[in-house]
Amino acid sequence: RRKGLARKLMRCYVQLMGLYDASLQHILLIAKAPLLHFYRSCGFTVEGLSSVVHGKDSWFDMSLDLATIRRTRVAAPSFTTAPGSSLPALGCVEHDALTAGGFSLRFPNATEATALHELEVASYPEDERV
């Protein structure tokens, strides 16, 4: 508890669903009030009170637009070091549902690589960084 595992799992699920099937447009769920903050922190938005009736508590409809994650950049070391360089080369795998095959690989320049690393580190709360 309180180690960020549920948020990491939900973010992985959302990313996988976004990459798995390009025809999927949204992830929908229903949640009770105590979990609304959690799902919001995972990118979901509250659509309103749900028409679902189960038990005494109210349920809320929530959604996440997969278009927001269709273009995902993943920075990964290539495990090789360029001659004269002290850092591993960095390859960017880009997923884009609109391109043939959906994936492309490119190697950014040093400025882009630094910016990608800083963006990746800053995109998660410190206690959730892997």
Amino acid 87: pLDDT? 43
pTM assigned to the model: 0.53
Beta bridge partner(s), residue 77: 90
Mean pLDDT of 34-61: 93
pLDDT for the residue numbered 56: 93
pLDDT computed for residue 90 by the predictor: 46
- How many angstroms separate the CA atoms of 17 and 21, rounded? 6
Residue 66 CB neighbours (<10 A): 21
Evaluate whether 116 touches 75 at the Cβ level (below 8 Å).
yes
Condensed to tens digits (0 to 9), the pLDDT of residues 61-89 reads: 999 988 876 654 444 444 444 454 444 44
Q: How far apart are CA 10 and CA 18, in angstroms?
A: 12
Question: Is residue 3 very low, low, confident or very high in pLDDT (cuts 50, 70, 90)?
Answer: confident
Residue 97, token pair as written in the block: 């549902």
Is the pLDDT at 102 greater than 80? The verdict is no
**Going from the N-terminus, what domains does the chain have, and what CATH number goes with each?**
5-67 (3.40.630.30), 71-128 (no CATH)
